[in-house]
Amino acid sequence: MVRLVSSGTIDMPCIDVTAISVSKALLWHCVEVRSSHRVDSLACLGEQAAVQLATDLYGFVNAHLFDLVASESGRLSEVDARLRTITEQQRQYLAHADLARVIAAVPGKAAAALSHPLFDPEMMPSGLKAALPASLAFLTDPSVRHRYNDEFVSAELSRYRSFFDDLDGRSLSDQQREACIRLEDNNLLVASAGSGKSATMVGKVAYVLNKQLHRPDEILVLAFNRSAAEELKGRIARQLGVEAGELKCRVTTFHALGRKIIEETEERPPQLADWVEHPAGEAKVIEKIIEDLLGVDPEFARLWIDLLVLHPKADIPAEVFDTKADHERYLSVRWRNGNATIGTMAGVYVKSLQEQTIVNWLWLHSVEFEYERQIALENKNGAIRHLHPDFYYTASQTIHEHLAINADGSSPFADYVAHTESKRASYREAGLDVFETTSAQASRGSLVSELEAELAKRSIPLRRKCYTAIVQALEPVVIKHYHKLIAVCIKHIRARHLTLEMLVERAGSLHDSARAKDFARAVWIITEAYSRKLEEANRIDFDSMIAKATRLVETGRYQSPYTLILADEFQDISEPSANLIKALKYQKPFTKIFAVGDDWQSIYRFAGSNITIFTQFEANFGASWQGRLEQTYRCNQFIAETAASFVQRNPAQLKKSVHSTRPAIARSIRVIPVASDRGKPDFGEACRRLLKRLDIFLGGISEQWRNDGRQKLKVMVLWRYNQLDPFKSAKPGFENIDVSGLSFHRAKGLEADYTILLDISEGDYGVPSRIEDDELLNLVMPRPETFEYAEERRLFYVALTRASRGVFLLANSREPSRYIRELSEIAGDNLRFETIDGDLLRQCPTCRAGYIVERTGPANRRFLGCSQFPNCDHTAPAK
């Protein structure tokens, strides 16, 4: 008997324990103990304590199981006979569940122990193991079962050759065929972009039904949206030769499954909130909640406006970044004299995020100031010294220096403290009114209050701008970014029952803890209002519906009919959805999971997905087989190889090699720098010129591609943010190409002959987008990603892999994306730099992101240099 003491005391027979696992919560670890009708969690544990407790429980349960086997050794001959009926016929693949199902049919305690899901032969006493019949080696010696299964797969590939030669309208690859045949208790198929994962799922269902391993009504196929579910349902039905409406396998979405479980259990459908099924419903509700709170909650209003105006991004120390250039790229929106500068709402450019906070606060309160005004000071010997204090307030003739000085009096910059003392002395000597703020105050979160106190001493008036004026001055993407952050935080807070205290404690561990604590308090107020809105309407949202369905399964009120669960796009799974799958699996003995996805294409973190459920599949679901689909039917080999190398620079991504059915096309990734006399380049105009050029070119070689009956080739224009859409007025028409435009996210799953990617440049709204990789997500995610811009890298991979023939990257000629340099390092000379008209540009051999231009030096000397000067100082003699 296992006794669990947490909020209460639970006595659970060892034979009822079906799973023991360790999970990472926000601030601690917990041990989860499952039976077929309940789930208990032992929380608030350190990692080592949790692992040790789980290990001890696992050993205790197994010791009891071994005692049961020894107590009924006389029944083992019957177990042996049952096992031989399936192992000697070699009729099917044998997972642990298949062996356990056969053993469980034998009455008695020994068979119940041997078929138990936690039975671990590695822990069995050697004497007991030696007394077991020979057929039980399939249980006690992993090599015996693996050898049998390898031989079975080899033979089955031959037996089912014609079956797989014409399945779902195609001939499956060897990897697809093996994935259809192998069926361990838990299976993860790691697919490449365009590798035919849907065809594999269709093949899997068709194969197990042909083998009569599962009945149709025992098979559950899960997709992430309605259109994907309908497509899968139609393809499976066609393969089986039935109408979609007559298909007995259940093909559905997670949301529809949750709704059905509740409806079948409670004999009425759940009452969903009216906004949940509208595409923009959640965003609209969050906007309305914020609007209402601004009118009734002064503390929330202060927090919200401070986040938007004073903290548009986290103030992260330079030492966190790999290089000085990486830090400057994170900070800046433009360069001035070779230095990174940061924009402010007052229209001036400053040198640090702390100075940005000060300027934005001054703008918010309508305080007049000058930034870095030159002041001439005469010292005792009559010499003139020119100083440039950070801020000068004309109303009181006050100088304000913001100093990069830490709490211990040190500075990250050489000679900074000595230079500061010299300036202080000059100010004292001149008798000027001066006050200082410091980085230490910013770290403590007191910077703004100290500034306000100093201005109050000088009676400088403060006139706070109205919210309407603030919103009009903000870039819309800043507000949208915070709305997206709030949406994902609400999901995690409600699903994990997080508290404000937990969020504030976690905020203290982030780099910009002052900003994080403000956000934690703001998002907590919003979450409470969101929950109240649901309660007052007596409604639930999708996440609540999935959670309720999970509880109905875990408590046994809903009896699962499913013995095989297939899940598509598994890289996008959220914790609530994963918990529903676990509940179904553990409630019905011997249930198997077959998950398919591509962690390289996990791009929906803001919708609640958690990539570690995929990349740590075995830790989440138990011992598993992992297969690969490495043959792509979409990109040519050059694009496929280059994109694969690019995304795998993040070591946390699962490794695979990608092979294309299309031969490599040299220089099929092309970089086109787009220049502008001032401001941002006109990517819309550049895109239209490129489309016209491409249309003319393809018309000239039409005999090469019209032989398959196509009248036009497909071109997709893709962008990171919708404000870059060049087709807002009207989509252009062409003779040889059919053009469509989409965001990177919406392009996932689609393909074209050519793609044009807009604004592959550095910047907050470029690629990678600096505002998306926000450390605030770590407030609610127990396993945050540590690789810089991890999801942005995957999103760019998705955009790269939509094209079969060629990709054009349009970049700001002044600030090309770091990803262009990476692609150049991977592809070498096969990455072509060219003008919008197709003329070759010589790539800079030093920075690999710029191109060679002719420049003029002293005495009108002509020489060759990099377009990225002064950030790249490559030069060569003019020819």
**Residue-wise DSSP of 47-93:** HHHHHHHHHHHHHHHHHHHHHHHHHTGGGHHHHHHHHHHHHTTT-S-
Is the separation of the CB atoms in 625 and 94 below 8 Å? no
* C-alpha–C-alpha distance, residues 792 and 345, integer Å: 26
- What is the Cα–Cα distance from 341 to 196, expressed in whole angstroms? 47
DSSP string, 774-816: -GGGGGT-SS---STTHHHHHHHHHHHTTEEEEEEEEEESSSB
DSSP 289-300: HHHHHHHH-HHH
Q: CA dihedral defined by 522, 315, 724, 361, rounded to 10 degrees?
A: 70
Structure tokens at 654: 């699962």
Tokens representing 121 are 């032969």
Of 403, 329, 416, 459, residue with least CA distance to 770: 329
Which phi and psi (to 5°) does residue 94 adopt? -115, 105
Strand partners, 79: none
* Contact in structure between 401 and 389 (CB atoms under 8 Å): yes
Residues 703-731: tens digit of each pLDDT:
888 877 789 999 999 999 988 999 987 88
| Residue 26, token pair as written in the block | 């926000």
CB 221 within 8 A of CB 251: yes
CA distance 509 to 662: 49
Element (H, E) at 754: strand 752-757
Rounded to the nearest 10 degrees, the angle between the axes of helix 298-310 and helix 476-496 is 120
Buried b / exposed e across 266-294, counting CB within 10 Å, b at 16+? eeeebebbebbeeeeebbebbeebbeebe
- Asked whether 635 and 643 are in contact (CB, 8 A), the reply is yes
CA dist 144 and 762 (Å) reads: 55
Give how far the C-alpha of residue 756 lies from the chain's centroid of Cα atoms, to the nearest Å: 23
Residues 6+ apart with CB under 8 A from 814: 335, 675, 676, 867, 868
- For every residue of 668-719, DSSP letters joined together read -EEEEEE--SSSS--HHHHHHHHHHHHHHHHHHTHHHHGGGS-SSEEEEEEE
The tokens for 317 are 């120390």
Cα(817)–Cα(612) distance, rounded to whole angstroms? 27
Biggest distance spanned by C-alpha atoms of the chain:
109
Question: What 3-state DSSP class applies to 210?
Answer: helix
Distance CA 873, CA 865 (A): 7
3-state SS of 706-718 is HHHCCCCEEEEEE
d(CA 169, CA 238): 10
- Give dist(CA 568, CA 90) in Å, integer: 30
Number of residues written out for the chain = 879
Give the tens place of pLDDT for each residue, 782-834.
788 889 899 999 999 999 999 999 999 999 998 899 999 999 999 999 999 99
Give the pairing of strands 803-812 and 752-757: parallel
Q: For 342-360, give the DSSP string.
A: EE-TTS-EESSHHHHHHHH
Using 70 as the pLDDT threshold, list the residues of the chain that sit under it. Answer: 6-7, 332-340, 382, 678
Q: Which residue shows structure tokens 């900070």?
A: 331
Question: Please, are residues 757 and 742 in contact by the beta-carbon 8 Å criterion?
Answer: no
- Cα 364 to chain center, whole Å? 34
Q: Which residue has the tokens 């009114």?
A: 433
Spell 89-103 as b/e; 16+ CB within 10 A means b: eeebbbbbbbbbbbb
Least Cα distance to 470 among 294, 679, 299 occurs for 294
